[in-house]
């Protein structure tokens, strides 16, 4: 696969996000035990792991809610470990949160408007057109309330809303959750498109290891709050431990 | 797209998209055009409908025209009168036939008529029609009352002023509770801050209503920020309890800070508002003197009415504008999902503070109006029941709905007043029944029934604040032919 080759060339590329030795606690319970992750500019990096491994916690820690108790998170050369969430999220990082969290009583257009709320209004029309080209379904449903969309459409809306803020780094928390295989394919295709056409850097947290690893340039495997394996997507897919733990059970 | 029927709505590009969608909704399942009926079918249809009408009339009038009873010696005398019965049926048949043939079928089939009406009303949504109607009534109400009900005009005008005060308070609270989703049980505190700010400024510094009004609003907004800053990290029930406590604190302070607020004695002699320096009283330099009118005490009421109407409309206007601005959109998004808001880079504390401060400011305006209208204020006017009534208005009207607040205010405040006068109930429950004693009971029951019937408030639909309309590129050849607009 040529994508993997490209990645190897990019290994030395600039680091956009780096997570170093991050530990996060919920009260007394330790959720992350010294996590190290690097995301380079223009990459798709995925983090896979079982339920409760701490994947979403890492995502939330990057966003500053909860904040890391120790360790450091650096984005674009700036330490963001102790910044409040709204400051982090206005630094060209966008997130499609776990469970989508679209605004159910607002229309599709209004949801997308909310994504662009910190942006210059002059860009709105252009960005909207881009999102509509990426997800034509959203255009069809533009006047419909968010809560009445199907799960797949809601996920598209959550990603579209994140894209409206013109991010450099897109954080996706389980975009395939509860979706039909065909829709998952569509969404992953869109992510790949964004990455190849626009050079968007994507950090993807997934349980759907097979699809995620096939899509990603590099991947990390998280078990019990620490990273146990890392490598290119292909390498991880080929490894026996990954296959037995995350694929055989899932890939019928 | 250049259909002549859409040209009217296309003048307003923002609404055009939604209107056409709504119209499509209304016409769903209907063929876009109804074929113009040919002469033959028109005749047949007219005859058929006339026949049905005549049949109905024949049955209905059978016992009125055909049989006739006259009082006669030893009982009733039954006579048969087929002539007038046949004439009645004949008139019905002819009338219906002519109507159907020339009026109904001439332009459109009778049965299709309803659907046309539905489509037309989609162009003018019922909320908009109702809103404009209410606005027109509100603008002309004093004159309507003076001409139609001259005996009761003062009482009714006073009641209207009261209702409008609650409309304004409801609209103010609607920003906090309806749009931003922050449950505020102590809204009356800002009402009190506004009233006392105005009263104290006016009596101590001899300032007029129009100078004190904005200052009172600012004071209230300031208190909104001061309260909001520490407590807005709380959510839902916890926030409600803290705001409830805040409302009580303000009242207790007003009650006990005797030197400053006059304690339970309140503040007397609050000046009345003037119209560019013209007072509403008898004699030199008064309103009636200046305009050469005969003095009447109702002039002051009319003036007060228009002040509160203007203030309320200002509240509405600001809210409607805010909804289209980023901060207003953030309010609504905050009500929907706070975590999503934060993930979009919105500083939720600031957004909540603006909602709190804006709501408080309008509460302050309403408070200073209350003070100037009464001429006397005391802490008794600012008890928890006021907060509860205002909140009930917002919830009953439908959270976030401006029109709902108006309807709910009229129903609640007008309803309470109406029950005061229900002496007619004595006819049912006996002379010992005093409706004023039961009015809260009846009223509570009515509210329960309304909430069962409409659990999300009287107006539960939310109008989107943005509509997307794609710019169309129109070829020059089309423009030249006068199409494509």
Asked if B423 and B222 count as a contact pair (C-beta separation under 8 A), the reply is no
Q: Are residues A11 and A88 in the same domain?
A: yes
Please state, in angstroms and rounded to a whole number, the distance separating the CA atoms of residues B468 and B485.
18
Selecting from B17, B333, B344 the residue whose C-beta is nearest the C-beta of A89 gives B344
For residue B122, the model assigns a pLDDT of 52
Looking at A167, A194, A219, which one is the last position of a domain? A167
In angstroms, the separation between the Cα of residue A170 and the nearest Cα of chain B is 12
Q: Which of A167, A183, A209 is the last residue of a domain?
A: A167
Does residue A252 form part of some domain? no
pLDDT at B191: 95
CA distance B83 to B211: 80
Shared-domain flag, residues A110 and A145: yes
B-chain residues near A107 (CB < 8 A) = 464, 466
Element (H, E) at A38: strand A29-40
Is there a domain that residue A206 lies in?
Answer: yes
Nearest to B342 among A65, A107, A161 (CB): A65
In a domain, A80, yes or no: yes
Q: Please give the structure tokens belonging to residue B147.
A: 């001409």
Give the closest of A63, A109, A118 to B466, CB-based. A109
Contact assignment for A107 to B466 by CB distance below 8 Å? yes
Distance of CA B480 to the CA centre of its chain: 46
Q: What pTM value is reported for the model?
A: 0.75
Among all chains, which residue has been given the structure tokens 């002539």?
Answer: B83
Q: Is the Cβ pair A89, B337 closer than 8 Å?
A: no
| CB of B294 closer than 8 Å to CB of B288 | yes
In chain B, the residue whose alpha carbon lies closest to the alpha carbon of A139 is: B468
Q: Quick check: A89 and B345 CB within 8 A?
A: yes
Q: Which of B468, B469, B472 to mutate to test the interface with A (most CBs of A within 10 A)?
A: B468
The complex's ipTM?
Answer: 0.86
Q: Assess whether A88 and A6 both reside in one domain.
A: yes
Q: Are residues A64 and A126 in the same domain?
A: no
Same domain, A180 and A197: yes
Sort strands A218-223 and A201-206 into parallel, antiparallel or unpaired: unpaired
B460 touches chain A (CB under 8 A): no
Instruction: Calculate what percentage of chain A has a pLDDT beyond 90.
Output: 75
Q: What is the pLDDT along chain B (485 residues), one digit of tens a residue?
A: 444 444 444 444 445 555 555 555 554 444 444 445 566 777 888 888 889 888 988 888 887 777 777 777 777 777 777 888 888 888 888 888 888 877 765 544 444 444 444 444 455 677 788 888 899 999 988 888 888 877 788 888 999 999 999 999 999 999 999 999 999 999 999 999 999 999 999 999 988 888 899 999 999 999 999 988 888 888 788 999 999 999 999 999 999 999 898 889 999 988 888 787 777 777 777 777 778 777 777 888 888 999 999 999 999 999 999 998 999 999 999 999 998 999 999 999 999 999 999 999 999 999 999 999 999 999 999 999 999 999 999 998 988 889 999 999 998 888 888 777 766 666 677 767 776 777 778 778 878 888 888 888 888 778 888 776 654 444 444 444 443 33
Number of domains in chain A: 2
Residue A175 included in any domain: yes
* B6 or A231, higher pLDDT: A231
Token pair in block for residue B33:
């055009």
Any idea which residue has 């995301």 for tokens?
A: A39
| B333 in reach of chain A (CB within 8 A) | yes
A86 plus A143 within the same structural domain: no
Q: Which of residues 136-175 of A touch B (CB under 8 A)?
A: 142-143, 161, 165
Backbone angles phi, psi at B375, to 5 degrees: 75, -5
Q: Averaged over A5-16, what is the pLDDT? A: 60
Pick A89's closest partner by Cβ from B343, B462, B466: B343
Q: For residues B70 and B79, is the Cβ–Cβ distance under 8 A?
A: yes
B348 reaches A (C-beta below 8 A): yes
**Do A172 and A75 share a structural domain?**
yes
Domain boundaries, position A26: 2-92+168-247
**Residues A228, A159 within the same domain:** no
Residue A35 CA to chain centroid, in angstroms? 17
Chain B neighbors of A86, CB-CB under 8 A: 342, 345-348
- Hey, is the C-beta of B473 within 8 angstroms of any chain A C-beta? no
How far B19 CA sits from the closest chain A CA (Å)? 11
Say if A173 falls within a structural domain: yes
Contact call for B345 and A143, based on CB within 8 A = no
Q: Does the beta carbon of A40 lie under 8 angstroms from any beta carbon of chain B? A: no
Which residue carries 């509160």 as its tokens?
B308
Any idea what DSSP says for residue B286?
B
Structure tokens belonging to residue A161: 């809303």
Diameter over CA atoms, chain A: 51
Report chain B residues whose CB lies below 8 A from the CB of A105.
332, 336, 462
A66 touches chain B (CB under 8 A): no
Token pair, residue B78, equals 């039954």
Length of chain B: 485
> A87 and A173 share a domain?
yes
The alpha carbon of residue B385 and the mean position of all alpha carbons in its chain are separated, in whole angstroms, by 22
For residue A123, how far is the Cα from the chain centroid?
23
Structure tokens at B83: 């002539």
CATH code for the domain in which residue A56 is found:
3.40.50.300
* Judgement on whether residues A196 and A151 belong to the same structural domain of the protein: no
| CA distance to partner chain A, nearest, from residue B355 (Å) | 17
Chain B touched by A185 (CB under 8 Å):
no
User: Which one, of B392, B385, B387, B435, lies nearest residue B411 by Cα?
Assistant: B392
How far off is chain A from B16, nearest CA to CA, in Å? 12
The runs of H, that is alpha helices, within chain A are: 2-10, 55-62, 85-89, 108-115, 124-134, 136-140, 151-163, 181-198, 209-215, 233-238, 240-242
Do A121 and A157 belong together in one domain?
Answer: yes
Are A212 and A243 in contact by the 8 Å Cβ rule? The answer is no
Q: How far is A125 from chain B (nearest CA, A)?
A: 9
Based on the fold, state whether residues A106 and A219 are members of the same structural domain.
no
The whole-number pLDDT of residue B361 equals 96
Q: Cβ separation of A143 and B344 shorter than 8 Å?
A: no
């Amino acid at each position: 696969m040529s994508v993997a080759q490209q990645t190897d060339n990019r290994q030395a590329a600039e680091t956009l996000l780096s997570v170093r030795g991050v530990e996060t606690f919920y009260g007394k319970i330790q959720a992350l035990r010294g996590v190290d992750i690097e995301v380079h500019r223009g990459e798709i990096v995925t983090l896979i792991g079982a339920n409760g491994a701490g994947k979403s916690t890492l995502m939330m820690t990057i966003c500053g809610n909860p904040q890391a108790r120790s360790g450091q998170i650096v984005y674009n050369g700036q330490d963001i470990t102790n910044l409040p969430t709204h400051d982090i999220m206005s630094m060209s990082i966008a997130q499609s949160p776990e469970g989508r969290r679209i605004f159910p009583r607002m229309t599709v257009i209004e949801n997308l408007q909310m994504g662009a709320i910190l942006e210059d209004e002059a860009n709105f029309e252009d960005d909207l057109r881009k999102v509509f080209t990426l997800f034509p379904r959203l255009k069809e449903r533009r006047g419909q309330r968010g809560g009445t969309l199907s799960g797949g459409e809601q996920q598209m809306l959550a990603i579209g809303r994140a894209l409206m803020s013109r991010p450099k780094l897109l954080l996706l928390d389980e975009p395939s959750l509860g979706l039909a295989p065909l829709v998952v394919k569509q969404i992953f295709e869109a992510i790949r498109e964004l990455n190849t056409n626009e050079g968007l850097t994507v950090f993807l947290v997934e349980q759907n290891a097979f699809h995620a690893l096939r899509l990603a340039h590099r991947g990390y495997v998280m078990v019990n709050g620490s990273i146990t394996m890392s490598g290119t997507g292909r390498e991880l897919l080929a490894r026996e431990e990954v296959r037995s733990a995350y694929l055989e059970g899932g890939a019928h | 797209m250049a259909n002549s029927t859409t040209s009217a709505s296309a003048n307003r590009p923002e609404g055009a998209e939604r209107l056409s969608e709504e119209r499509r909704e209304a016409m769903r399942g209907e063929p876009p055009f109804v074929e113009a009926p040919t002469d033959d079918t028109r005749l047949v249809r007219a005859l058929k409908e006339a026949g049905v009408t005549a049949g109905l009339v024949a049955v209905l009038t059978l016992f009125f025209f055909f049989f006739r009873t006259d009082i006669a010696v030893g009982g009733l005398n039954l006579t048969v009168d087929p002539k007038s019965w046949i004439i009645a049926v004949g008139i019905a048949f002819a009338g219906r036939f002519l109507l159907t043939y020339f009026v109904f079928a001439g332009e459109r089939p009778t049965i299709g008529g309803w659907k046309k009406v539905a489509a037309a009303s989609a162009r003018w949504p019922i909320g908009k029609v109702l809103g404009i109607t209410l606005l027109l009534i509100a603008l002309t109400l004093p004159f309507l009352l003076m001409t139609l009900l001259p005996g009761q005009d003062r009482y009714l005008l006073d009641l209207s002023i009261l209702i409008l005060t609650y409309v304004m308070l409801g609209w103010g609270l609607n920003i906090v509770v309806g749009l931003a989703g922050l449950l505020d049980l102590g809204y009356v505190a800002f009402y009190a801050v506004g009233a006392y700010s105005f009263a104290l400024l006016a009596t101590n510094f001899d300032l007029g209503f129009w100078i004190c009004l904005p200052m009172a609003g600012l004071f209230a907004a300031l208190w909104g920020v001061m309260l909001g800053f520490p407590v807005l990290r709380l959510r839902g029930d916890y926030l409600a309890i803290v705001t409830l406590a805040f409302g009580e604190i303000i009242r207790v302070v007003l009650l006990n800070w005797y030197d400053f607020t006059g304690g339970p004695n309140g503040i007397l002699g609050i000046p009345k508002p003037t119209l560019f320096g013209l007072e509403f009283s008898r004699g030199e330099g008064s309103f009636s003197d200046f305009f050469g009118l005969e003095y009447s005490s109702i002039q002051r009421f009319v003036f007060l009415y228009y002040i509160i109407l203007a203030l309320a409309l200002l509240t509405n206007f600001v809210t409607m504008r805010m909804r289209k601005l980023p901060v207003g959109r953030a309010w609504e998004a905050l009500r929907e999902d706070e975590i999503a808001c934060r993930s979009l880079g919105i500083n939720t504390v600031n957004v909540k503070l603006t909602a709190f401060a804006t709501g408080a400011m309008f509460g302050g305006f309403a408070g200073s109006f209350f003070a100037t209208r009464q001429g006397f204020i005391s802490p008794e006017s600012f008890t928890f029941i006021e907060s509860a009534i205002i909140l009930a208005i917002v919830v009953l009207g439908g959270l976030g709905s401006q029109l709902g607040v108006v309807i709910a205010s009229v129903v609640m405040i007008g309803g309470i007043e109406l029950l005061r006068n229900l002496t007619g109930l004595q006819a049912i429950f006996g002379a010992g029944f005093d409706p004023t004693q039961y009015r809260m009971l009846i009223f509570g029951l009515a509210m329960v029934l309304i909430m069962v019937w409409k659990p999300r408030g009287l107006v539960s639909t939310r109008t989107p604040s943005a509509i997307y309309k794609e710019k169309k590129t129109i070829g020059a050849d089309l423009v030249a032919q006068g199409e494509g607009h």
